[in-house]
Amino acid sequence: MVYICRMLYRLLILCCLFSIQTNAQQFTISGTVSDSTNNESIIGGVVYLKGTAKGVQTNVYGFYSLTLPAGTYDLTINYITYAPKTIHVVLNQNISMNIRLSPAASSRDMS
């Protein structure tokens, strides 16, 4: 009987070990988006992964935060009347990145 209990215990331990799934480690990239000329926060700016639908909008303080698996990403930051900016990011730790957007040249400025 003791032998059977030990075998069942060992079998239970093995089943538990094999059932544990390893999840990809997650990291966060966060910061603020602001105007490069006056340093004002950009409210409602879009920060997204280029070529995907995954992204977030900046809040009333210009703050954004994205949590992603470790990897290499092209992060695009966009807001109306500003030139979009794409930043290459290697995400292998939590990153704080403040981004400054420059106003886009309007057609009026070019005349």
Q: Give the pLDDT mean for 88-96.
A: 96
Output the pLDDT for position 11. 55
User: Does 29 have pLDDT greater than 80?
Assistant: yes
- CB neighbour list of residue 27: distance below 8 Å, 6 or more residues apart: 67, 68, 69, 70, 91, 92, 93, 94, 95
Output the pLDDT for position 32. 98
- What percentage of the chain reaches a pLDDT higher than 90? 69
Q: pLDDT of 36-65, one tens digit each?
A: 999 999 999 999 999 888 999 999 999 999
Report the predicted TM-score, pTM, of the whole model to 2 decimal places.
0.73
